[in-house]
A and B are shown apart, each in its own frame.
Chain A
């Protein structure tokens, strides 16, 4: 087998539908094309609606990161209406959002990522039996524990946000429920239980110890909990070299609070560089979309029904100053300045998954702080969003999977334009007009493909290390 073409997909345990086309030369991926085979057209539906309805419609883009969508919509709407949440309202919105992000990281690790190592291909490995016990889909001990722990953690969402998925509580002015002492105590208890789960099961040690790791070599010595099992596997399979990234990372900044972001915004290219949101352009050269490349504030969504042959995805190709960027938990931690994340920058599967575990530990600490700071007699909503006649605004937030932006334009009280760039739109974007591949397409180059492997396991690991959310991507 010197040359071959492979189509990998559909991927299971990925949120939504995805296909990857691979050109394989000499047992390695020579080039990859990532296809999002699904299109829903949310941006078109929003046009002509009351702007406030974006708060209800956009969360339904995704049942896994619906709060991120609602947080972005609330921010965009607030920017257009010229209103800010109250400090306590912002803190509660951050707490609600953090619960969802932490849940997503937990599910990715336990249900989507680790089960790949239970494959018979790894049967000879000394860790295989332990992985099978812990991570067999639907039955492994870790899988059940994670689903249970997440359901418990989400009591906070039930309490503060009424229901999850598709929460309605986050508004431009804050949140709809003013938590009283009862809510505060229940949140505290829930967080305490979640910490216990994380420390006994996921990390096998104090969260602060894991979050305090500064170098890759001390990370590789972490041998406790399911995190330790992952590190052992990563070492055995050299997962850091698999699917290496460009080292260019973007974060819009997570959890905007009165005193600043929980995790800072910015751009990283070997070091912090200035980030200019106006340099974002969505390129449509290889997407089944019509229209010019444009900044999302003026962009449009017109599907190309002819599905022209030079294009190959429903996903647009967002670029920052003409270049692709990687987004996600690793990007966020790198940009926020965590020493371990910065030491992992540019890495592959190990770096992305370790970045997510690191963020999970840090998010728990952040949630505890937010809860302790709840002032039950404060104001949690600055006021109602009245009708917005004309205006525009952007809502830039961080979903679990990375930077999420909503760009809203209102004319005569109705939505005149609504553009969304989801995290996986960045990571899984197709090529742009200059032929530069998206981050996943680039990361797949060089991945080993075994003789006769129809669905190469290395490709599976790389794709899943990004934690893709295809329904958000193609909204």
Chain B
């Protein structure tokens, strides 16, 4: 391990100044919801810890996650994190090709056994012995299991890896299967969304690289720091919802006034994600701001819940804050079922443990995944 460079080494080698480095640390701290007191801690960790190798593999997918990732707002985040990743293995972005690429994957696995993070984009299709997705002559599911065997943790990027996404839509012709149903013996962090927001992706990966542990997860395995609130909770059109002012048709007068899109089928009230706070494409906007309702792409099963343009039913309006979690649950049940039950329970629990969780994010790890990760922490 001692020959592995630190993050800071990697950055210095790329000509990044001390000043930009500190700026990156403070941006990271704020993106992760940590106070300024954590800036020196992050800096210290990045100066002293050997960088965590990352292997990034692609199954049945559309590469939208990589696409999102490389457009993260802070140039350092994407340069540094991206270059650390491409140092190891990523078959869309790396330079090597063919068997050379396959060898690079094996080398990385051998060299960093038990220490690397496996980032999975897409998922394995299991029908016909996995023949619908072949990498290097073998089913992707084999590559996935092989790479997962010695990984210390797995990140499931996006709705595909986390839940299956549209390619798993009925009748799920290829039996596209989320990662956690194939790999059951490793800690898995789900970062859903189609794709996830770039800053969420860099935030999660930086957290793991910096602190060498998993972020606090909710019951569905999503990082709480980004998935603990509904789009609806922080939606800038929320006052119009509360006031009962709705868009009735595309481009009607109400649409121009920026009224609430709930009647146009917006799934913001049942969707846990950070779109309405972090926003998209460098914080420029998000779907609701562009006049189209949320489709709930970070929720399990969003692709098979009736039409995307059917409105949610049974949602209450006033007093919603008083029982937000219950409302979240009921509303989702109308469209979804099992998802909602999860969401409601985890939301309630979260409300109770909120303060503890925040501390836990930085200091102790309450999740049971801790032990398996920390074993390697000081190796």
Residues of A within 8 A of B (CB): 7-17, 19, 37-42, 44-45, 48-50, 52-53, 55-57, 60-64, 66, 111, 115, 118, 136-139, 144, 147-148, 150-151, 154-155, 157-169, 171, 173-178, 303, 305, 307, 314, 379-381, 383-384, 454-455, 460, 471
With A10-B98, A455-B99 known as contacts, the answer to whether A155 contacts B284 (CB < 8 A) is yes
Shortest beta-carbon distance from B93 to chain A in Å:
6
Contact check, A12 vs B97: say whether CB atoms are below 8 A apart. Answer: yes
B309 within 8 A of A: yes
Chain B interface size, as a band, is 35 or more
The residues of A that contact B78 with a CB separation of less than 8 Å are 147
Q: Mark B94-126, 1 if CB is under 8 A from A, else 0.
A: 111111111000000000000000000000010
Q: Which residues of B are found within 8 Å of A165, using beta-carbon distances? A: 62, 64, 67-68, 195
> Which of B96, B134, B249, B310 lies in contact with A383, CB distance below 8 A?
B249
Determine whether the beta carbon of B134 is less than 8 Å from that of A37. yes
The chain B residues found within 8 Å of chain A, CB to CB, are 14, 60-68, 70-71, 75, 78-79, 82-83, 86, 91-102, 125, 127-128, 131-137, 165-167, 169-174, 176, 194-195, 249-251, 255-256, 275, 279-282, 284-293, 295, 297, 303, 306-310
Q: A63-B195, A169-B292 are in contact. Are A11 and B281 (CB under 8 A)?
A: no
Q: Given that A52-B309, A177-B291, A307-B128 are known contacts, is A138 also in contact with B86, CB under 8 Å in the complex?
A: yes
Known A11-B98, A57-B166, A162-B287; 18 more pairs at CB < 8 Å: A11-B97, A12-B92, A13-B93, A15-B92, A38-B132, A42-B167, A45-B169, A64-B62, A138-B94, A147-B70, A154-B71, A162-B285, A165-B62, A176-B255, A178-B291, A383-B249, A454-B98, A460-B97
Chain B residues within an 8 Å CB radius of A14: 92
| Interface residue from A57, A160, A381 paired with B303 (Cβ < 8 Å) | A57
Contact among B14, B93, B95, B131 for A118, CB-based, below 8 A: B95
Do A50 and B307 touch across chains, with their CB atoms under 8 A apart?
yes
Query: Across the interface, which residues of B come within 8 angstroms of A460, CB to CB?
Result: 97
Closest CB of chain B to A97's CB: distance in Å?
Answer: 15
Contacts of A56 in B (CB 8 A): 295, 308
Q: Is the CB of A40 within 8 A of B99?
A: no
Q: Considering only CB atoms, which chain A residue lies closest to B302 in the complex?
A: A56
A60 to B60, CA, bound (A): 12
Max chain B C-beta neighbours (<10 A), residue from A7, A44, A163: A163
Q: Is the CB of A162 within 8 A of B288?
A: yes
* A-side contacts of B167, CB under 8 Å: 40-42, 45, 60
A340 to B132, CA, bound (A): 41
A selection of 18 A-B contacts at a CB cut-off of 8 Å is A12-B96, A13-B94, A37-B133, A39-B125, A61-B62, A64-B63, A66-B62, A137-B95, A139-B83, A150-B71, A157-B281, A159-B284, A160-B290, A165-B62, A166-B195, A305-B127, A381-B251, A454-B98
Q: Is the CB of B251 within 8 A of A380?
A: yes
Q: Bound complex: CA of A360 vs CA of B93, how far in Å?
A: 22
Contacts of B127 in A (CB 8 A): 305
Question: CB distance B256 to A178 under 8 Å?
Answer: yes
Shortest beta-carbon distance, A209 to chain B, in Å? Answer: 30
- Across the interface, name the chain A residue whose C-beta is closest to B135: A10
Greatest chain A CB density within 10 A among B169, B171, B249 is at B169
Nearest B residue to A190, CB-CB: B284
What A residues does B70 contact at CB under 8 A?
147, 151
**CB-CB nearest in chain B for A89:** B251
Collect the chain B residues with CB atoms within 8 Å of residue A52's CB.
Answer: 307-309
B contact residues around A175 at 8 Å (CB): 291
- Please, how many angstroms separate the alpha-carbon atoms of A410 and B125 in the complex? 29
Chain B residues in 8 Å Cβ range of A163: 275, 280-281, 285-287, 290
Report chain A residues within 8 Å CB of B170.
Answer: 45, 48
- When distances are taken between beta carbons in the complex, the residues of chain A under 8 Å from B174 are 39-41
**A238 → B minimal CB distance (Å):** 22
A111/B93 in contact, CB under 8 A = yes
Closest to A172 in B: B250
Q: B172 — which chain A residues lie within 8 A by C-beta? A: 41, 45
Q: Is the CB of A13 within 8 A of B92?
A: yes
B60 neighbours in A (Cβ, 8 Å): 38, 40
Return chain B residues, CB-CB under 8 Å to A19: 134, 137
Cβ contacts under 8 Å, A139 to chain B: 14, 83
Let me know if B86 and A471 touch, CB within 8 A.
Answer: no
In the assembled complex, the Cα of A304 lies from the Cα of B194 at a distance in Å of 29
Q: B303 to chain A: closest CB distance in Å? A: 7
Give bound CA distance, A160 to B286, whole Å.
9
Across the interface, do B308 and A63 meet the contact criterion of CB distance under 8 Å? no
Contact of B249 among A64, A155, A159, A384 (CB under 8 A): A384
Partner of A155, one of B102, B169, B281: B281
A314 vs B60: C-alpha distance when bound (angstroms): 14
| A40 B71 Cβ-Cβ under 8 A | no
A159 in contact with B295 given A42-B166, A45-B169, A60-B62 (CB within 8 Å)? no
4 A-B pairs with the lowest CB-CB distances in the bound complex, closest first: A63-B64, A158-B281, A41-B173, A158-B284
Q: CA separation between A48 and B173, bound complex, in Å? A: 14
Q: Determine which residue in B62, B66, B132, B308 has the highest number of CB atoms from chain A within 10 A of its CB, and name it.
A: B62
Are B128 and A138 touching (Cβ within 8 A)?
no
**How many Å from the CB of B170 to the closest CB on chain A?**
7
With A161-B290, A168-B287 as known contacts, state yes or no: A10 contacts B136, CB within 8 Å.
yes
Contacts of A57 in B (CB 8 A): 166, 169, 303
Give every chain B residue within 8 A of A118 (Cβ-Cβ): 95
Chain B neighbourhood of A454, CB < 8 A: 98-99
- In the complex, A379 Cα to B250 Cα: how many Å? 10
What's the Cα separation between A162 and B280 when bound, in Å?
Answer: 7
> With a CB–CB cut-off of 8 A, which chain A residues contact B282?
151, 155, 158
Question: What's the minimum C-beta distance from A104 to chain B, rounded to whole angstroms?
Answer: 10
Question: From residue B108, how far is it (CB to closest CB) to chain A in Å?
Answer: 14
Assembly CA distance A380 to B290 (angstroms): 13
Chain B residues with Cβ below 8 Å from A7 are 137
* Nearest CB of chain B from residue A303's CB, rounded to whole Å: 7
Chain A hits for B97, CB < 8 A: 11-13, 455, 460
- Chain A residues whose CB sits within 8 angstroms of the CB of B86 once the complex forms: 137-138
Docked pose: A299 CA to B284 CA in angstroms: 41
- Contact, CB under 8 Å: B136 / A166: no
**For B102, what are the chain A residues with a Cβ–Cβ distance below 8 Å?**
10
Q: Are A53 and B308 in contact (CB under 8 A)?
A: yes
- Whether the pair B67, A64 counts as a contact (CB closer than 8 A) is yes
CB pair A8 B83 closer than 8 Å: no
